[in-house]
Every structure is written in structure tokens, then in C-alpha cells.
Structure 1
Amino acid sequence: MAACRFRRSIAAQLSHILEVPPENLIKSITAVPVSKKRLPIDFQLIVSSVLDTNSSSHSRSDVQLQTQKIAEKLKCDAVVTEISTGEGTVNFTINQELLTKTVLQKVREDGSQYGIKSELFSQLPKRKILVEFSSPNIAKKFHVGHLRSTIIGNFIANLKEAIGHHVTRINYLGDWGMQFGLLGAGFHRFGCEEKLKLNPLQHLFEVYVQVHKASEEDKNITELAQDFFRKLEARDEQAISLWQRFRDVSIEEYVQMYKRLGVHFDEYSGESLYQEQCQDVLKMLDMKGLLKKTKEGAGIVYLSEKGDQSTVMRSDGTSLYITRDLAAAIDRMNKCNPDTMIYVTDKSQSSHFQQLFRILKLLGYEWAERCQHVPFGRVQGMKTRKGDVVFLEDVLDEACSMTLERMASAKTSKELDNPLETAERIGLAAVIIQDFRGLLSSDYQFSWDHVLQSRGDTGVFMQYTHARLYSLEKMCGTVSQASHINTARLQDPQAVSLIKHLLRYDEILYRSSQDLQPKHIVSYLLTLSHLVAAAHKQLPVKGSVPELAEARICLFQAARSVLANGMKLLGIMPVNRM
């Protein structure tokens, strides 16, 4: 990684002055972001992070004094051409030709591993990670509520896999519980075999709506639903057969939806797999004296001395969502022994996961510390032109349709071999970038007007930038070896800004890997796209003398490579023409 070479060089000097191993200084030396001021510095040492004691005990003047002392002891060399100080920072300017050559060579050599082959990641031990995400309820069409879990979980899995961890992607289907008692009872009354064959999930959705409404007026239906669920838990042959049909048709339709989203799973699991193991969990809780009974006969666990409690068994002895989650967590740990188990669900389930992890600890499972809930906020205002959206396919169809319309009316659109596939990719990019721009835990307002804009901070603009760079390469050719280019030809302000931005990519990946927030990568790629647009305007390739054209095409080639890498991590497939 390009930045590593320079961090190592700076860390080696600092190591002698501070008497700290150089590897301990790497994370305190950061590349300076590109700004409108175009500061002539490339790296900074944040002095407070390397002081002996907690930086909070140091006054600003103390830190500044230490900063001056460190800077005075440092010397320029073949790598560092200038050393200065800022507020609490020692600043380093790198030999610009060396910086340019190193960045372009590393992007070329490392390919999809650029940014990952960094010392920031080399110290991290490789882990076994399970990521549970998406998890729709079977017998229901894929609701937009599951979109965020699906794309966020996919991003986390992509990123963890890219940096070298062994990742298992689990789709833990909601395929058990009282809802299936209601659906089973409802199908006997409102179901139609013909409709089930023609449009299975639409019909099951209609049946569920009908039976739910009927149950509010007729108590007998609720009793029939409870009876059907008891039969399911008792493995009644007819009940299981009907439930299995619901499960099979659901997965069949979901697989097609995941294909559109570019998402895959290593394992399709489900609550139903843990129906029997739930009884073992209840026995364990009972043996440890944790299972208490209410007057009505329900099973509860007290979570703290304050009296906080969690219900783990219904009064009729049937299991609950949390009971099945307990059984699933224990089973996964016994079988896979992962270092980390990540659950990606909306923030309304935060309390559920706090209870889940607390009960696991009460059972004596210390590995509960290795379980992590990644919560996310809700999307508001996701509507098509026809009105309210309920299903994800409506959102994807709308994104694709609106993209096709805009491509048809745009003067710059090219004739495409497969316009539908291109529109699908652009539409999905638009949805993902809008979703990932902010903090995951925040709710956000969805806006079709903004999401499909071809200018500004959108997925469409990002795709347009990639296609533009690809077109440039096709027209002007590519550079096979960055080592041969004349880097003195790339000292224009726009070229320098692009190089400095490419330099920071590993830090961005590292930050996202630490807090699992895609917004860092999104912000980086949008800035990269804007920098490319400025450079493309000011640094023409066509018509330039060969040596200059070669240097510029090498720069744009590097930008496209990093842009594509980042987009793929986010779950976006770059388009080459649009």
C-alpha cells in the first residue's frame, strides 16, 4: 500500500525520538484530506495520541510544546521534503514525484487489494465471523423493511471478507411462530390452490390479511391458529406439509430478489430448525434456577435485580422468538465457534438483543461478549408514482423504470447492448448510496427526486463517473506499467488532489472496518467522483503530447480502479456504459 511506505519512513524517525516501536506509531500518522485550501502537506502526526499519559491530562500549551520539540528533532530526507507544525500536529510534505509514482504503481500492482494490503490491517488477526442479515418472514412478499438489513449485512460481509476474515453469511428466516398458526388456519378458510400456484406470495399475503382481520372479530379463529401452531410444534404431518410448501415457495421467490440485489448467502437457516432445541434451552434455564413461572403459566427470566424480565415460554408451553434465538446462538457457537457473531436488524429490536445477550451470559456463556447487534433506522417516504410501496420489487422496478426514462431523454446516453441490466445497476446504486450516506442508526427520508439525480452526491453520479472513465480508457487505451510514466507531468493541482485522495483509501477502509459504517466509504467515493470530474475537465488526454497523455490516462485508470473497488464493497456493480 502506497501510504504504508511513507508512514513507515516517518514512523522510523519518530521511533528514535519517542522511544516507541515504529509499528505502534503507524495509526497516529494520517494522510491529510484534500481541501479547497490545497494545503502543501501530505501526512500529519497527531501528537496527543503518542504522549506518555492520557492526552486529557495535557493542556493545549503542553501538547503544543511537545509538538515543537518533536518537530525540531526530525530531519528531511529523500522521502520527506518539509516538516512543519500545526495545532497539536507535526506535518510532513512528501517528495511529490515519489508520492505520485508510488501511489500509481501500488494501485496498479495491488488491484482489488489496494488499500487492504496496508499495515493498518496487517496487525489484525484473521477471524471467523458469522453475519446474520436480511431474515424476511416466509409466506410474505419481500417488504422494503428488509431492504436495509439486506444491503447493510451484505456490505459488512463484503468488507470483512475483503480484509481477510472468514465470513459466513446467514439468512435466518422467520419461518416459525404464531404467525404460521394464523396463516395455517387462514389458508384452510380463505386459501385457493390455483392462486397459490400462479402467484404464491401475493396470495399468501392476501390470506394473511384476511385471516388477521377475521381474527379480530371472531375469537374462534385465534383458537384455531393456536391449535395449528401447537400441531406444528408437535410435528403433525399435515400441518408440517402445508408449512413446508409455504417455506419452499417463499425461498424460491426470495432467491430471485437476492439475485437482483447482487446478494448471496452461505446458509439459509430459520427459526424452525431450533424448535426442538428450544426445549433444551428451557431445561437449562430451569436447572440453573433462572426459569420462573407467572400466574398464567408463562416462563420468564429475570435479567437484573431491578426486576427486568424476558418472557421465554408461552403459557401453553410453545416457544417464542427469543427462545429460538437463544437456541440458534448456542448451536452456531457449538458448531462453528466464530470469533464474532453479528446480527443486522432495525433498531426497534435493540432491546431484544440486549435481553438475548444477557440471558446467554446468565447461562454461563462468556462468548456472549463476542455477539454484536448492528442496529439501523427506518426509511420514510419510499413511494412509487402509483402510491405507497409495500414490496421491495416495487422499489427496484420503479428505480429501473425511472432510470430507463432518464437515460432515454438524456442527450449523452449511449446505445446499450442491455439497457435493462444497466438501468437495474444504476437504480440499485442510487438506492444504496442514498441509504448509506448517513449514520446507519438514523432514520432517513427517501426521495426519488434526489436519489436519481445525475449530478451531486448520488449513486447515479458515481456510476456516470465510472462509465466516463471506462469510456476514456476504451478511447485512449490503458497504461500497462505505471513505473514508466513521467510523474513530473502530473503536478497540476487537479492531478495532485487526485493522487492525495487515492493515498487515503486504506484509512477509509480501516475506519469503516472498525465501526461498520459504510458512510466513510460513500463519502470518499463521492469526493473521488467530484475530483475526477474536475481533473477530466482540466487535464485532457486526447490531443495531448504522448508522454503527457500517458501520464494522465494512468492517473484516470488508477481512479477508476479504486472507484470500482469501493463500489463493489458497498454492493454496487459498476457500469461501463450509460
Structure 2
Amino acid sequence: MACFFRRRAAAQLSRVCGAHEDVFIPLLSAAPVSKKQLTPVLRLSVNSLVKKGVLPPDADLQTQTQRLAKQLKEDGVVEEVIPGRGVIHFRINRLLLAQKLLEQLHSDPEGFGRNSELLGKAGGRRTLVEFSSPNIAKKFHAGHLRSTIIGNFISNLKAALGNEVLRVNYLGDWGMQFGLLGAGFQRLGSQEKLRENPLQHLYEVYVQVNREAELDEGVRLAAAEFFRRLEQGDGEALKLWRHFREITVDEYRTIYERLGVYFDHFSGESFHQSKTQEVLQELRSRGLLRTTEEGTEVVDLSTSGNQSSFATLVRSDGTSLYITRDIAAALERRETFGFDEMIYVTDKSQSHHFQQLFQILKAMGHHWADRCVHVTFGLVLGMSSRLGNVVLLEDVLNEARRRMLHNMKEAKTSKELTDPELTAEQIGVSALIIQDFKGPLIADYKFDWEKVLQSQGDTGVFLQYTHARLCSLLRSQGGGDQTVFDASHLLDDRSISILQHLLRFDEVLLQSASDLQPRHLVNFLLTLSHLAASALRELQVKGSDEGVAQARLRLFSGTRSVLGSGMRILGIRPVERM
């Protein structure tokens, strides 16, 4: 609904400056809630008009601000135009703000913020997001948690803004490590142990054969031979490899269900292995692939022939590498899905790999590589379970559920829940996500169980608690579903603070979509929760006059709706009781 108020301010600016209204829409923003300024305000940086060429660049900025503010007129929507230091403030009619904003939230709760004209260019595309991408035949390591929840957030955000999203899990299911595992399992494996605890047994075999390979040249040769057989399509080797893959994917699906994550496609390096020879042939025909003295085949990505800029695509024994298969995967995805943009979500250690990948694709003449993005993230430090330092994601989820269930029992609220373990799990996952998303993704951060699961402060538990309190109020007092309400009961500073904050929702979604960082949305929702908590204390519903009660219920209903909508974009399943 911010677009209604932006449009009215933009119409004024268009009349004075001569440019079309659409020029001003993205330049007008809702001011953050402040204790110093509770009046609903839109603001405009005058310097942004200079950059757009609407105002001359050589005039004094403050003089231009004062002159422009004087030319703008008040009306029924914009009650006052206030010049500041290089900024013009538009004070909005409070009554109209409450009416318009809450009417839209009531009539189209899911579309609120998302259907803003500010976001018009953010949707309508086909977006492919590759994320999670664990290695098969291994337990799901906690290190994959970040890729999984970040990729899920990006997918949810893109879908919320009207894009067609394809969620791809690109499994690490090929490469020399499977030569080691295959050769090791043929010597050390047990079908009985594989049935009892498949991934644990495969992990034990892999650790043992790696240890042996460090000391025994024969083991290394056997591993290389097994991988060559895989690449050549040997039936026995492929049968064993497929079995490893199937049991791994089955176990991963259980973890994804607990996180509330799904995929449209489970892909993997193996799917694109057959295309690597075509890729290599195309690179040779373009004169991009050269053979080194060591017998490897490389692409020179420098202009100076510096060997450090070589991207190796073929080993000296003729087998392919990860980047070779990534090139094949990108080409096949473009042909199959015709995506408009492709987003890879992996840790920052792979930045160089993706720089090389995008450079090679462009060198091959594929200009859509400019629309490929690598979203990087840092490490989580100190995430361990009570079971020790082996950080498996299953252990982390179990620990979050255990601790949250304990906290809920201490608070004596779990007796009201039909499934306290499920609620504890959902709140625990919320806590993990918010802890992860509060800062820049590129930064490493220290994980602290006690801080993560606090019910007060800027935590996922606090978000869930606020949402559950709002749901409880609406259940007990009738839900705020009445068609007509009197907005004049919502002109107090506490109500206006919430409304002013809700006015920013579309801007926050745009900011998150622009840099693919969830912290903007997290901070918005945490502030909304703090504002709602204060309002729940001060704006009584029970015992108030009917008109006042219904207006406040409408405010709390709209707040609950935006809070839940934002949480779902982050990948959090809002709980209604806790």
C-alpha cells in the first residue's frame, strides 16, 4: 500500500519537476520508525533527483531542497511537506494510512508488499537456484546447513516476487572420491552393515580407505582404476555407485523435510558426465583448450599466459574434473530450462571456481553467463552437539529440538500443544535460521546455543512467540475479520508506529531481492515483533469498547499476517501455539 502514498507524492513531484511520475516512485521511501518521529513520513533524497538528471548538478543542494519543498502543495493525502538537509519529508494523513493499509491487508494478505509497483521489475523471470548440494555416501554435515537455508530463502523470495523458480540440488555424486569409496567398499564393505546403518558404514569405509591410500600406492591405483571404470560405464561399478546414491538421497529427504525444504530437481555431476566430451570438443574447436607438458588439458583465462590463471578441465589420465562437469551442467540447464538467471549458493572458498566457470562460459560465447550469480557465505564457528564435536546436521536439529522442548516444559506451556515435539522442532529450526541470517552472509559467525534459543531479544524464538501471541489473541477475541472498522481508533503513536513500519515492507523485499541478503527482512521482522509486543501490552482489546476492540484486532491481524508472510519467505514455518 506504500505505492498509493508514493504515487500521490510522485504526482506532486511530476507537476513541479516535469518528469514522469514513474521516475519518482523508486526514489520515495518510508522513513524507519523512530522515537523522535512517529508521524507517518515518506522521504526523498534530493541528490537522487540530481543523479537522475531531474535537477541540475551544479546548483547548491540545500538551496534546491528548500526551493523544491516550497513548490510542493499539501492535499488530503500529503498533509505537510518538510525540507531537511538534502531530504524532503512528506507527512501522510494518519487516518488515511490506517484505512488504506489495513484494508489492503484484509483483502489481499498474501499480496501485501509483494504486488507493489516498486517491485514490478523484480518478477516475471525464470530463476534457477542451485543449493545444498551435499556429497552422496556421506552424512549430511552441518556445513551444508547454510547453503540449504540460504538457497531456500532465495528461492522463496524469488517466488514471492512473481518469478518461476526451479530449485536444484546438485549432488556431489561423481569424481575421484567415488573411485576411493568403490575400491574401498569392494575390500572393506559389509552388505549387512550397509542395511543397518548405510551412511555411517560408507563413512567408515571412506575414512579407512583414505588412510590406507596415504600409505599404499596400490590402494591409490585401485581407486583410480575404479573411477576410470565408472567414467567408461562399467556395469558392475555403476550398479554399486547407484546403490550408494539411492540410499543417500533417501536419508537426505528426511533431513530436508525437517527443515521444510524441497527441490524440483535432484541433479548431480553424474547426470552431466556424458556431456563432458562434447564440452571439451567445443573448447578445442574454439581454440580454448590446450595441453600442458604434464599432459593435463587447460583453459588459459589470463592474457599473459600465467599458469596460475589456468583452469584445468582434464587430468593427465584423461578423467574429468568438477569444473568440466559444471560447464556441462550449465549448458544443459540453459538448453532444458531456458532460465533467465541462475544462482549458485556455496561457501566463499569456491569463489575462484565460479569466477573461472563464468569466464569459460563467456569465452565460449554464452553471454547469458552474465546472468549467473554466485552467492557466497562464511563459516559457522562453534556449532556442535552435546554428543561431541562431530557436527552432523541431524545432531544439530535433534539438539535444537531437545533444548527447545526443555525450555517449553520449563515454561509450562507444552501441555496445551497437540504435538509439542513438532512445535519444538519448528521453533528450533527458526532459531537456527535467524541466528544465521542476522548478519552479512559472507561473514563467519560464532554459534552460541544459549543465545540462539532465548525467548527475548533478536531471536527466532522471539519471532515465533510474537506470532503465537497474536494468533492466540485473534482466536480468543474473534479474529479481526469484520469487513468494516473505524480507523479513527488507531491514531495513537503505538498503532501508528506499526503502520509506519508496515509501510516499508515492499522496500525491504526489494532490498533483499537486490543483494540476495536475508538480513534486511530479518531486521524488519524483528522490529515488527518488538513493536507488536509493545502494542500487545498497551493496546488492550478485552474490555475495550466494541469499535476500539475491532480496530485493534484489525491492526493485530494485519501485523500477524505480515509477520507470518515474512517468516515463510525466510524458510520459517510460523507456529500458532507455543
TM-score, length basis structure 2: 0.97
Residue 161 (structure 2) pairs with residue 160 (structure 1)? no
What displacement does 1:359 show?
A: 0.8
How far does the alpha carbon of each residue in 1:10-59 deviate from its partner, in whole angstroms, 9 at most, with x for none? Answer: 10110011111101110111001101213435111111111266799958
What displacement does 1:414 show?
A: 5.0
What displacement does 1:296 show?
A: 2.0
Residue 528 (structure 2) pairs with residue 521 (structure 1)? no
User: Secondary structure at the residue paired with 2:110?
Assistant: helix
**8 Å Cα contact 1:414-1:577 kept in structure 2:** no
Give the whole-Å Cα distance in 2 for the aligned partners of 1:293 and 1:314.
10
User: Secondary structure at the residue paired with 2:311?
Assistant: strand
Residue 401 (structure 2) pairs with residue 362 (structure 1)? no
Q: Report what 1:288 is aligned to.
A: 286
Residue 147 (structure 2) pairs with residue 171 (structure 1)? no
Residue 18 (structure 2) pairs with residue 7 (structure 1)? no
Give the whole-Å Cα distance in 2 for the aligned partners of 1:498 and 1:389.
44
Residue 206 (structure 2) pairs with residue 208 (structure 1)? yes
**8 Å Cα contact 1:382-1:447 kept in structure 2:** yes
Distance 1:465 1:353, change over 3 A: same
Q: Report what 1:94 is aligned to.
A: 92
User: Secondary structure at the residue paired with 1:25?
Assistant: helix
Residue 418 (structure 2) pairs with residue 420 (structure 1)? no
Q: Which runs of 5+ in 2 are unaligned?
A: none
Distance 1:218 1:54, change over 3 A: farther
Q: Report what 2:318 is aligned to.
A: 317
Residue 424 (structure 2) pairs with residue 407 (structure 1)? no
User: Secondary structure at the residue paired with 1:257?
Assistant: helix
Distance 1:223 1:52, change over 3 A: closer
User: Secondary structure at the residue paired with 1:383?
Assistant: coil
User: Secondary structure at the residue paired with 1:112?
Assistant: coil
**8 Å Cα contact 1:298-1:311 kept in structure 2:** yes
Greater CA deviation, 556-565 or 46-55? 46-55
Q: Report what 1:243 is aligned to.
A: 241
User: Secondary structure at the residue paired with 1:384?
Assistant: coil
Q: Report what 1:47 is aligned to.
A: 46
Residue 65 (structure 2) pairs with residue 67 (structure 1)? yes
Greater CA deviation, 468-477 or 381-390? 381-390
User: Secondary structure at the residue paired with 1:460?
Assistant: helix
What displacement does 1:83 show?
A: 1.1
Give the whole-Å Cα distance in 2 for the aligned partners of 1:321 and 1:364.
21
How far does the alpha carbon of each residue in 1:470-513 deviate from its partner, in whole angstroms, 9 at most, with x for none? Answer: 0001111112245x211121122111111111111111111111
Give the whole-Å Cα distance in 2 for the aligned partners of 1:238 and 1:345.
33
User: Secondary structure at the residue paired with 1:372?
Assistant: strand
Letter in 2 for 1:519: R
Q: Report what 1:496 is aligned to.
A: 496
**8 Å Cα contact 1:439-1:519 kept in structure 2:** yes
Distance 1:53 1:430, change over 3 A: closer
- Percent sequence identity over matched residues? 54
Give the whole-Å Cα distance in 2 for the aligned partners of 1:458 and 1:190.
46
Q: Report what 2:465 is aligned to.
A: 464
User: Secondary structure at the residue paired with 1:352?
Assistant: helix
What displacement does 1:530 show?
A: 0.4
Aligned pairs for 1:529-568 within 5 A? 529-568=529-568
Give the whole-Å Cα distance in 2 for the aligned partners of 1:328 and 1:204.
27
Q: Which of 296, 299, 304 is matched with 1:298 structurally?
A: 296
What displacement does 1:390 show?
A: 2.0
User: Secondary structure at the residue paired with 2:187?
Assistant: helix
Greater CA deviation, 116-125 or 64-73? 116-125
**8 Å Cα contact 1:185-1:224 kept in structure 2:** yes
Q: Report what 2:125 is aligned to.
A: 127
Distance 1:94 1:199, change over 3 A: same
Q: Report what 2:335 is aligned to.
A: 334
**8 Å Cα contact 2:123-2:158 kept in structure 1:** no
How far does the alpha carbon of each residue in 1:202-236 deviate from its partner, in whole angstroms, 9 at most, with x for none? Answer: 11111111111111111111100000000000110
Give the whole-Å Cα distance in 2 for the aligned partners of 1:25 and 1:481.
36
Q: Report what 2:180 is aligned to.
A: 182
Give the whole-Å Cα distance in 2 for the aligned partners of 1:134 and 1:576.
29
Give the whole-Å Cα distance in 2 for the aligned partners of 1:413 and 1:532.
23
Letter in 1 for 2:36: K
Distance 1:389 1:543, change over 3 A: farther
Give the whole-Å Cα distance in 2 for the aligned partners of 1:163 and 1:462.
23
Distance 1:174 1:14, change over 3 A: same
**8 Å Cα contact 1:469-1:560 kept in structure 2:** yes
What displacement does 1:122 show?
A: 2.2
**8 Å Cα contact 1:41-1:91 kept in structure 2:** no
Give the whole-Å Cα distance in 2 for the aligned partners of 1:181 and 1:429.
39
What displacement does 1:274 show?
A: 1.3
Q: Report what 2:33 is aligned to.
A: 34
Greater CA deviation, 104-113 or 172-181? 104-113
User: Secondary structure at the residue paired with 2:85?
Assistant: coil
Q: Which of 111, 114, 118 is matched with 2:112 structurally?
A: 114
Distance 1:46 1:370, change over 3 A: same
**8 Å Cα contact 2:485-2:547 kept in structure 1:** yes
Letter in 2 for 1:526: L
User: Secondary structure at the residue paired with 2:318?
Assistant: coil
Give the whole-Å Cα distance in 1 for the aligned partners of 2:239 and 2:352.
34
Letter in 1 for 2:151: G
**8 Å Cα contact 2:129-2:344 kept in structure 1:** yes
Q: Report what 2:276 is aligned to.
A: 278
Give the whole-Å Cα distance in 2 for the aligned partners of 1:437 and 1:111.
25
Give the whole-Å Cα distance in 2 for the aligned partners of 1:338 and 1:514.
18
Aligned pairs for 1:230-269 within 5 A? 230-269=228-267
Q: Report what 1:139 is aligned to.
A: 137
Give the whole-Å Cα distance in 1 for the aligned partners of 2:121 and 2:254.
39
Give the whole-Å Cα distance in 1 for the aligned partners of 2:63 and 2:72.
15
Aligned-residue CA RMSD (Å):
1.5
